[in-house]
Structure 1
Amino acid sequence: MVATTPAVGSPALWTTSIAVLVGLLVLDFVLTRRPHAVSLREAVGWSMFYLTLPVVFGLFLWGAYGSEQALEFYTGFVVEKSLSVDNLFVFIMLLAAFAVPAELAQRVLLFGIVGALVLRGVLIALGAVLLQAGTWAFLVFGAVLFLTAARILREELGGATRERDVSKMRSVRLLRLLIPVTDEYRGTRLWVRADGRCALTPLTVVVVAVLATDVVFAVDSVPAVYGVTEDPYLVFATNAFALLGLRALYFVLQSALSQLVYLNHGLVLILALIGVKLMLHWAHGLWPTVPEIPTLMSLAVIVLILGVVTLASAIARRRAIRHFPSRSRP
């Protein structure tokens, strides 16, 4: 039950977690200091590492705080990971639109992940303040999730694609109006001196574009996790664990992501489910006879939705190859 579990985040746990998070980010910056194209073997290794961390952390929560807190963490992590996979589609589009060299891709993703962590930290704090102000905050979070689900569904039914003209993004246009941008990349440098004045490199522009999309995803994802747990620490932990492994997961799944044709349909169902869970939780506080959706049931349904999405996408891909074999070739 969302409201009855005691808070997990002690000052010591918060301090330790933030220190570990900063340490991992510094390690990532050190590893990307010398740009190189990431091999599949390297990406798989880091992906396994970042998938093992939340499993071990959930077992720690189970032993230290109880099964309910651990289940809330695992459920929140699955929700965040499924939403972060959708982030990867946008990252792929941005990196392709800016023709980012393979050896610089991981640096761009790292900037994007750091920006996402900062933005979600701010929204997590704001969410905690809203929850302390009253149970009406659950209605706000639920409305955000329903609106997001409706937007995604409208785009899918309207036949909208994930492609967009990056040059029309407000943040990119404003940046190019204010400061000149060089025509080519200069390694990992964000700005250079050109003709006696400061000029940005295309790397800065793509980083700004990634950070701009981080804002949208943060607004969607934080209310989703607050639909699983009210504990700000668990919301922070699920976001951190989901985002940390995003860079490595990008290099593992960049070719396979395009085959998950029904991912957005699954996200619509997941967001709607959590929205209903929030509404029921709010109503239960006023009318105790109104039932709530248990965390374990939420986790089971979310995993089932993701499984069906993956299977349906694989079947659709197989049928497309059978009927249009030439289109399946790169």
Structure 2
Amino acid sequence: MTETLYLAAELQSVGTPALWAITIGGVIALLALDFLVTRRPHEVSIREALGWSAFYIALPLAFGAWVWSRYGSKQGVEYLTGYLVEKSLSVDNLFVFMLLLAAFAVPPVLQQRVLLFGITGALVLRAVFIAIGAAALQTLDFAFLIFALILLVTAAKLLRDAVTGHEQEVDISKMRSVRLLRKVMPVVEEYRGTKMIVKEAGRWAFTPLALVVVAVFATDIVFAVDSVPAVYGITEDPYLVFATNAFALLGLRALYFVLHAALSRLVHLTYGLAIILAFIGVKLGLHWAHGIWEGVPEIPTLASLGVIVGVLVVVTLTSLRATRGLTKGEKEIVAGKR
């Protein structure tokens, strides 16, 4: 994976081969640390979740400060803006993870292991999409236009889902990944710790843990299709794209448990993300048109950062106001989940 990413990155990147190797090695080390933490299944306390969340927020911010000081304000602003976009999208992804964990009735002691598998799968998929995206931008003149259309379509879908509540529906029996696994081998009814395959009456069978992990992997593909074009709308540097994705994903395991209760209050987040993705789609479209005719204006990255921060602040405040004093069921109705 390192060689593939570097070949794409050397076309245009602040990342040297040594920096790519250090970054990927660091990501692998952090994933290994997370697997060690979850090696003994346990229910995550709020104190533990807050500690890890603080670490995974401080680390990317410190890295952003280093990028700013080492490469200048342009790369620094691009990194911070890209990280903010990816972190915002990852919080929205947590909604889906929360629904999957509930739909599969995952025991609390196994939830962080499922999340970690999902994060690992997402990192691998994003690495592949980043390499493909870098190659496309260098060889296809209209790649920016394609990315713009992907984001505009995604924004329209998010807006539709926010209005109809469609994205909140999780029917396990209709999931293709689950149906495919059931055709391969039978599935036992109860969880067996961290085991995904067990032997029952002389026959191998999947556990429910295998089903939920595969379901999470399937959603990772959808998330990668949306998030990679979004951050390429902020920076064309594959190294910064990879770094923002990696840092945004690594802290999701702990952030899930911190935000689990608060997620139900962010009822307008999907509207905000739809606006952000549509804005980045327009930004990419203008960038593509500028390459054809210089008279077409472009949106500066610093202005993009201001728009993204402004949208997130507004939807957070309106969400908190809309759900003030409401019960959990009432919050779901306001969010369009029922």
Q: 1:106 to 1:320 in 2, by over 3 A?
A: closer
> What 5-or-longer segments of structure 2 have no aligned partner?
1-11
**2:199 match: secondary structure:** strand
Cα deviation, 1:81-103, whole Å, max 9, x if unaligned, reads 01001110000000011111101
Q: 1:315 to 1:283 in 2, by over 3 A?
A: same
Runs of 4+ in 1 over 4 A off after TM superposition: none
Give the aligned partner of residue 292 of structure 1: 298
- 1:11-160 equivalences under 5 Å are 11-160=17-166
Give the aligned partner of residue 321 of structure 2: 315
Give the aligned partner of residue 267 of structure 2: 261
AA in 2 matched with 1:175: L
> What 5-or-longer segments of structure 1 have no aligned partner?
1-5
1:169 corresponds to 2:169: no
Give the aligned partner of residue 273 of structure 1: 279
- 1:179-190 equivalences under 5 Å are 179-190=185-196
Cα deviation, 1:213-235, whole Å, max 9, x if unaligned, reads 00101100000000000011010
Query: d(CA) in 2 for partners of 1:159 and 1:257?
Result: 15
Give the aligned partner of residue 3 of structure 1: none
Cα deviation, 1:152-190, whole Å, max 9, x if unaligned, reads 112223343512212210011110111111111111111
Query: d(CA) in 2 for partners of 1:109 and 1:65?
Result: 34
Aligned length: 321
Among all aligned residue pairs of Structure 1 and Structure 2, give the percentage whose two residues are the same amino acid. Answer: 65
1:8 corresponds to 2:9: no
Query: d(CA) in 1 for partners of 2:325 and 2:36?
Result: 44
AA in 2 matched with 1:284: H
Query: d(CA) in 2 for partners of 1:219 and 1:199?
Result: 32
8 A Cα contact 2:103 2:170, kept in partner: no
**1:99 match: secondary structure:** coil
Cα deviation, 1:195-251, whole Å, max 9, x if unaligned, reads 112111111100000000001011000000000000110100000000000010000
Give the aligned partner of residue 223 of structure 2: 217
8 A Cα contact 2:122 2:217, kept in partner: yes
AA in 2 matched with 1:116: A
**2:324 match: secondary structure:** helix
CA deviation after TM superposition for structure 1 residue 7, in Å: 2.2
AA in 2 matched with 1:271: L
Q: 2:184 aligns with which of 178, 181, 203?
A: 178
- 1:195-234 equivalences under 5 Å are 195-234=201-240
CA deviation after TM superposition for structure 1 residue 137, in Å: 0.3
Query: d(CA) in 2 for partners of 1:138 and 1:166?
Result: 36
Normalising by structure 2, we get a TM-score of 0.92
Give the aligned partner of residue 312 of structure 2: 306
Cα deviation, 1:5-48, whole Å, max 9, x if unaligned, reads x6211100000000000000001111110000000000001000
Q: 1:92 to 1:159 in 2, by over 3 A?
A: closer
Normalising by structure 1, we get a TM-score of 0.94
AA in 1 matched with 2:77: L
Cα deviation, 1:94-130, whole Å, max 9, x if unaligned, reads 0011111101000000000000001111100100110
